[in-house]
């Protein structure tokens, strides 16, 4: 039975905490019964059409509060409760503005929320050993404001199935980019950088996906600390500096970069404390702050290239691949040039996701629109090969307006 197409909004604010991306898509039913698992990708009639995409900067006070909460060694319950509701209000305002601007009526909303804490591996707390995660942004505030059901809190179901709760974007990567004759690598560069590798002709079980390490997170922190800029626009600051080889090589010895997938990362590993130590190491080698910017940019490029070479390239069957970059890092010309230079010997054709029909900043929000649609249809949204889960899981919780 074929249900009508749905107009679904996805909303995302990532580890950079720079703002909110809204993507509105129309998802056409693939024609399978709701009792049968939806198959996505090259063998499916599933059609995802991007209708609109808008980005909204966080107000300065809200961004400061979010960053403080993510890096806080301790905080108050009042602060966390207020932030949870304030983020819900910000998401609702962004969704309302995007829908009004493009004259769209929404059927469903998928909201990832703002990750304040993500602990994918079990540790002992209060006498029990477990993993946990928390994405803030009160879904009921969004549902009440828009009058539309909201799917949120996507990560826990995968974690309770034995996965790390991330990455969750590989479902969209496979749906949009799996190809019968071309290997594809989908590299998102947000605050954290994550990679999805899809060998030519592969099924979902052959997908490789994991976080490669810092994306824009260290670069953005240095831009603010050294130049009072929220980010390095077009990589202009890094382009004027030189890479400090000793600092780069010492940083690359971090055990995380040798850890086998599945693996995830966040501000817990690469946040303010990590960036401050990185800057201190740079200052011991150079007094030029632009050298620190260049070295941080090289760190992102190098960890992406080494991650692909060490954990994904062999699975691509020795063929040339399309290396498709999304996220804010795709707009950093210096980073893209460094990455292109490192990947060219591995027969990777680097391109922004714009060249494949999806704006670089829209992909993650689009992914959560698709995940919400899957949840609405009671279909699994995780890719166990990517997260390490023992089984497929229906993700998220539905909140009604």
User: Residue 287: how many CB atoms within 10 A of its CB?
Assistant: 9
Query: Mean per-residue pLDDT for 87-102?
Result: 98
Range of 102's domain? 6-168+362-399
In total, how many domains does the chain have? Answer: 2
pLDDT digits (tens, 9 = 90+) for 82-93: 999 999 999 999
pLDDT number for residue 2: 54
- Do 304 and 250 lie in one domain? The reply is yes
- Do 185 and 289 lie in one domain? The reply is yes
Q: What is the pTM of this model?
A: 0.89
Q: Indicate which CATH number applies to the domain containing 239.
A: 3.30.420.40
Q: Compute the distance between CA of residue 210 and CA of residue 303 in angstroms, rounded to an integer.
A: 12
- Do 123 and 198 lie in one domain? The reply is no
- Do 164 and 237 lie in one domain? The reply is no
Classify residue 1: in a domain, yes or no: no
- Do 280 and 388 lie in one domain? The reply is no
pLDDT number for residue 36: 35
Classify residue 59: in a domain, yes or no: yes
- Do 140 and 206 lie in one domain? The reply is no
Alpha carbon 327 to chain centroid distance? 8
- Do 269 and 341 lie in one domain? The reply is yes
- Do 366 and 295 lie in one domain? The reply is no
Average pLDDT across the chain, whole number: 92
Identify the three-state secondary structure at position 22: strand
**How does DSSP assign 139-183, residue by residue?**
HHHHHHHHTS-EEE--HHHHHHTTS-S---THHHHHHHH--SS-E
pLDDT digits (tens, 9 = 90+) for 116-166: 999 999 999 999 999 999 999 999 999 999 999 999 999 999 999 999 999
């Amino acid at each position: 039975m074929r249900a009508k197409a749905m107009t679904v909004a996805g909303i995302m604010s990532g580890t950079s905490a720079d703002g909110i991306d809204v993507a509105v898509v129309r998802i056409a039913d693939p024609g399978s019964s709701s009792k049968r698992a939806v198959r996505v990708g090259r063998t499916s009639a599933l059609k995802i059409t991007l209708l609109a995409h808008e980005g909204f900067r966080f107000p300065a006070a809200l961004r400061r509060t979010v960053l403080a909460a993510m890096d806080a060694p301790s905080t108050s319950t009042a602060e966390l409760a207020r932030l949870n509701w304030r983020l819900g209000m910000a998401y609702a305002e962004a969704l309302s503005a995007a829908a009004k601007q493009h004259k769209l009526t929404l059927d469903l909303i998928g909201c990832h929320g703002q990750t304040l804490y993500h602990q994918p591996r079990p540790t002992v707390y209060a006498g029990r050993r477990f993993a946990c995660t928390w994405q803030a942004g009160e879904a009921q505030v969004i549902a009440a404001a828009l009058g539309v059901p909201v799917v949120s809190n996507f990560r826990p179901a995968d974690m309770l199935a034995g996965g790390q709760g991330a990455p969750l974007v590989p479902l969209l990567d496979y749906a949009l980019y799996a190809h019968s004759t071309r290997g594809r690598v989908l590299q998102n560069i947000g605050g954290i950088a994550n990679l999805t590798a899809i060998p030519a002709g592969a099924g979902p079980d052959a997908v490789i996906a994991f976080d490669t390490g810092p994306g824009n997170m260290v670069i953005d922190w240095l831009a603010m600390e050294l130049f009072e800029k929220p980010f390095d626009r077009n990589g202009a600051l890094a382009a004027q500096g030189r890479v400090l080889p000793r600092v780069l090589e010492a940083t690359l010895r971090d055990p995380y970069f040798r850890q086998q997938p599945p693996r995830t990362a966040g501000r817990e590993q690469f946040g303010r404390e990590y960036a401050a130590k990185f800057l201190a190491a740079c200052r011991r080698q150079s007094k030029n702050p632009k050298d620190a910017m260049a070295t941080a940019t090289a760190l992102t490029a190098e960890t992406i290239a080494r991650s692909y070479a060490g954990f994904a390239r062999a699975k691509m069957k020795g063929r040339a691949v399309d290396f498709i970059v999304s996220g804010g890092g795709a707009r950093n010309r210096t980073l893209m040039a460094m990455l292109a230079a490192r990947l060219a010997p591995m027969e990777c054709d680097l391109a922004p996701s714009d060249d494949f029909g999806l704006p670089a900043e829209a992909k993650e929000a689009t992914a959560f629109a698709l995940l919400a649609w899957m949840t609405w249809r009671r279909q699994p949204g995780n890719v166990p090969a990517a997260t390490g889960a023992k089984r497929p899981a229906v993700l998220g919780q539905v909140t009604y307006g």
